[in-house]
């Protein structure tokens, strides 16, 4: 496989108790690409992202990360942790430990590589702390380093989650509706940060979003799922109302016709 590939998915299928969630999904994402994952609620976006980081096992098919098999035919790579450390996950809910400080939250991103004792005692090396501070500066919240995570706004918390991915050394960011819980201004700032990291550090980004305007503003490429199958993979400028109707189905037709395509979920 060419060394320019970050994520490759071949014929990935998954059913939950007989109900199909992913239907022979195929695509390739090159290193440094930024791809929006779109589709109606229940179309399989979260399920697909969870297969890419090995949290779900497919019934059939293969997921490659940087040319290495992460999972194939329902089996995980034996060194899954090593592969997972290259993948940073950002969720809709910020997934921080509220009672810990911002910097502690960033440091526990390293847990996979720390001994259990050190992680329980929260003992981190000076080098790790410097790395965490650099990441917090990069995401623009250095001044909040020693506040409890719960004191931060949603947008700030999402930036802590991003700093944690940076400290982890992730080369791929998987973001599942990263801005869905944010006000429009915070959402824009978080998207701009993600774009900046993509452009400056070549981090490959796959993000599920339901605001079509955001998809058009920040992404060149979109992959759309409908009922677990890829039904569009192309340039976001091709996402006209007809395409959106096909992607989101009958429920969306009215919204699009009324000019409210941006409200689609
Ligand atoms: P989306 O993120 O696009 O809203 P999901 O990936 O959450 O869609 O869900 C896709 C389909 O898979 C849905 O029908 C959902 O009910 C089902 N599903 C997802 N996760 C599970 C699970 N852990 N157990 C059973 N069904 C699931
Ligand atoms: Mg989802």
Going by pLDDT thresholds of 50, 70 and 90, the confidence category of residue 234 is very high
Going by pLDDT thresholds of 50, 70 and 90, the confidence category of residue 265 is very low
pLDDT in the model for residue 178: 96
Closest residue to atom 15 of ligand 1, CA basis = 42
Q: How many other C-beta atoms lie within 10 A of the C-beta of residue 73?
A: 12
pTM (2 decimals)?
0.92
Q: State which fold the 1-86+171-265 domain adopts.
A: Rossmann fold (3.40.50)
Joined together, the tokens standing for residue 258 give: 């009324």
**Whether the predicted pLDDT of 68 surpasses 80:** yes
Summary mean pLDDT of the chain: 90
Sheet holding 68-72, edge to edge: 19-30, 5-16, 60-65, 68-72, 75-76
Please, where in the chain does CATH 3.40.50.300 lie?
1-86+171-265
Which ligand sits closest to the CA of 178?
Answer: 2
Residues with CB under 6 A from ligand 1: 16, 19, 21, 39, 41-47
Which ligand sits closest to the CA of 42?
Answer: 1
Distance from C-alpha of 21 to C-alpha of 14, rounded to nearest angstrom? 6
């Amino acid at each position: 496989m060419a060394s320019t590939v970050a994520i490759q998915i071949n014929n990935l299928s998954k059913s939950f108790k007989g109900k199909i969630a992913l239907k022979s999904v195929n695509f390739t994402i090159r290193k440094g690409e930024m791809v929006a994952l779109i589709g109606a609620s229940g179309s399989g976006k979260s399920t697909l992202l969870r297969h890419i980081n090995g949290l779900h096992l497919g019934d059939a098919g293969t997921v490659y990360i940087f040319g290495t098999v992460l999972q194939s035919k329902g089996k995980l790579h034996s060194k899954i942790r090593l592969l997972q450390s290259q993948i940073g996950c950002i969720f809709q809910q910020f997934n921080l430990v509220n009672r810990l400080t911002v910097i502690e939250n960033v440091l526990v991103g390293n847990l996979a590589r720390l001994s259990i004792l050190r992680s329980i005692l929260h003992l981190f090396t000076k080098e790790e702390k410097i790395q965490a501070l650099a990441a917090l500066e990069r995401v623009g919240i250095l001044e909040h380093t020693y506040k409890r995570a719960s004191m931060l706004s949603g947008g700030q918390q999402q930036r802590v989650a991003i700093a944690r991915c940076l400290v982890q050394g992730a080369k791929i960011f998987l973001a599942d509706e990263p801005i869905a819980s944010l006000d429009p201004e915070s959402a824009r700032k978080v998207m701009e940060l993600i774009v900046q990291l993509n452009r400056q550090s070549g981090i490959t980004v796959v993000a599920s979003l339901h605001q079509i305007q955001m998809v058009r503003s920040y992404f060149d490429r979109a992959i759309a799922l409908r009922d677990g199958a890829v039904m569009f993979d192309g340039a976001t400028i091709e996402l006209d109302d007809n395409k959106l109707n096909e992607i989101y189905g009958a429920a969306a037709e009215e919204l699009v016709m009324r000019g409210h395509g941006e409200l689609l979920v």
